[in-house]
Structure 1
Amino acid sequence: MNRDALIRKDRKQIPKNIFIKTSLFYKEKGFLKFVIYSPIIKEYTFYTLFPYGLNLFIYDQNTNKYTYIRADWVKSIDKIFYHIKGNIKIMSPKGYLLKTDEIFWDIKNKKIFNKKYTTIISNLDGIRLYAKNGIEATEDLKEIRLKNISGTLPIK
């Protein structure tokens, strides 16, 4: 039986664990890496489901700043790949706000991507960009590739 068949079979099963109103603090070598808050977390054999969304703070110990992610629904597969949906907001440490309805996050390769309408707003200089056919970006939003874009650039 392949992995996809196992996941489909597992959907019909009861979760191994259910956590209610949970805050998770993850540290490596004594340094805080991230904080997750979620109203409900359901752990299955091959994935973890956040059916009512989450708030995630990813800390960068070098800059002492964080990236913030908020969404209505999240599925984590082996804690390596995330499928995120619904009212997504990602705020980078540099002041960029990304808004979209669906995004995929490949943690192993530190990339996010989608094929959905996405808005990026800079709180520092008023730039607004609209990607009609999605984006590809590094998870920290330092490198962003927009597909079929339009936008507003302030002229000083």
Structure 2
Amino acid sequence: MTALVVIVLFSCKDNFSEVQQIGVLQNAPIGEADTINLKYTDSAKLTANLLSPKMMDYSNRPFSFSEFPEGIELIIYDKNNNKSTIFADYAIAYNETDLIDLQGNVLLATHKGDSLFAPQMYYDQKNEWVFTNQEVKLRSTANNIDGRGFDSDRDFKGFEILEMAGDIQIDN
């Protein structure tokens, strides 16, 4: 009995620091990548292209996501293969919802030459929909519109700006 007690006492070790590291490892990204060029296709047709200098993969989390801490360039192709580009200082792409959260100096440059500025914008990859409820500024050759809220499909044909103000030209 004495031998058993001695063996048990000497076999125990202090692993408190290892236990502390478990939470740190779960919060760390599972992978990091530099110079990202992801292409999204539908029926062998290019629909979007995501470019970023750095990506951090958090697919080890219950609600997995990819983080782009150094900014993002998202090129969206419409049905006629025209491209519009969204730039942002920071982005998070949520894997389960196919939603990309674009933040910081967001600029949407359409294939028509229009520019839309916002502090935050979302791109729903599944529904091919761009939207925000933040303040926006639309600058084009015909209009300078300030407003709050923006909704559009990937073609940017029937976009909508809520709470509009500014110089608006209306066609008959």
Q: Report the TM-score range of the alignment, normalised by the length of the smaller protein.
A: 0.7 to 0.9
Paired letter, 1:150: A
Q: Distance in 1 between matches of 2:156 and 2:110?
A: 6
Q: Deviations over 1:66-122 (max 9, x none)?
A: 111100011111161111100111112222211110112222222222221101122
Query: 1:111 aligned to 2:125?
Result: no
In 2, the alpha carbon distance for the partners of 1:11 and 1:134 equals 39
* Structure (1 or 2) with the larger CA radius of gyration: 2
Query: TM-score when scaled to structure 1?
Result: 0.78
Aligned equivalent of 1:127: 143
Residue 53 of structure 1, CA deviation: 1.0
The correspondence of residues 39-118 of structure 1 with structure 2, limited to 5 A, is 39-45=53-59, 46-60=64-78, 62-78=79-95, 80-118=98-136
- Contact conserved, 2:76 with 2:154, CA < 8 A, in 1? no
Aligned length: 143
User: Which residues in structure 2 correspond to 1:145-156 (within 5 Å)?
Assistant: 145-153=160-168
Rounded to whole Å, the distance in 2 between the matches of 1:135 and 1:28 is 25
Are the equivalent residues in 1 in contact too, given 2:77–2:154 (CA < 8 A)?
A: no
Query: Do the aligned partners of 2:33 and 2:55 also contact (CA within 8 Å) in 1?
Result: yes
- Secondary structure of the residue that 2:126 maps to in structure 1? coil
Q: What percent of counterpart residues are identical?
A: 23
| Map of 1:3 onto structure 2 | none
Aligned position for 2:38: 24
Check conservation: 1:10, 1:44, Cα contact below 8 A: no
Q: RMSD of the alignment, in Å?
A: 2.5
- Runs of 5+ consecutive residues of structure 2 not aligned to the other structure: 1-22
Higher strand share: 1
